[in-house]
Amino acid sequence: MPRTEYSTYTETELVAFLKQKDRAVFDYLYNNYSAAIFSIINKIVKDYHTSEDTLQDVFVKIWNKIDQYETSKGTLYTWMMNIAVNAAIDTIRSKGDTMKRKCQSNDHLSTIPAQPAKRAEAIGLAGLLLKLKPEHQTIMKMVYFQGYTTLEVAYLLDVPCSTIKTRVKRSLSLLRLCYA
């Protein structure tokens, strides 16, 4: 069957050509399935650029592992989606592990570099933070003094993002009362 850019393939033909490492068919596969796969990856990863990178990794895996695909175990689309979901989860895990390695100990949180005019000690915030629970102190130092986002703190501390946001809000309320 002559292939053109407007060709359509049955799943059997698609798999057969992919197993022969046919580049044109792989391009067809990417053009027709990448949007759906990206959508699933982006729902898991929640970062557009990281999702794009993961999508590329998924298609490299599809290209390299097409010989492992078995029609008896499911459709090609399902197989590709399983690869995408696993890659997205791996991406999140590796991103979280990288952040955890950067902040293995919380000892560095007490040595916060600041310009003299903005030093926490100058307005008494360092002392006020001591009135918070230790887990709240850590979160507040990470968010307000080190510039982490609440999502990054959630990954680092392995706590849901909503919990981090709640703790920040409660801490700010308590600090307002103490400071006034």
d(C-alpha 138, C-alpha 148), whole Å: 11
pLDDT in tens, 44-76: 898 899 999 999 999 999 999 999 999 888 899
Q: Is 92 found in the same domain as 16?
A: yes
CB atoms within 10 A of CB 167: 22
Tokens for 143, please give them: 């968010």
Task: Check if the beta carbon of residue 128 is closer than 8 Å to that of residue 178.
Answer: yes
Range of the domain at 120: 107-179
Q: Is 69 found in the same domain as 145?
A: no
Q: Is 84 found in the same domain as 159?
A: no
Average pLDDT score over residue span 158-172? 88
Q: Is 118 found in the same domain as 84?
A: no
Q: Is 159 found in the same domain as 112?
A: yes
Q: Using H for helix, E for strand and C for coil, what is the string for 137-151?
A: HHHHHHHHHCCCCHH
- Structural domain total, the chain: 2
CATH number of residue 117's parent domain: 1.10.10.10
Q: Is 174 found in the same domain as 147?
A: yes
d(C-alpha 55, C-alpha 60), whole Å: 9
Examine the pLDDT at 145 and tell me if it is beyond 80: no
Note the pLDDT of residue 98: 54
Note the pLDDT of residue 134: 83
Q: Is 130 found in the same domain as 82?
A: no
Per-chain mean pLDDT for the chain? 80
Note the pLDDT of residue 105: 46
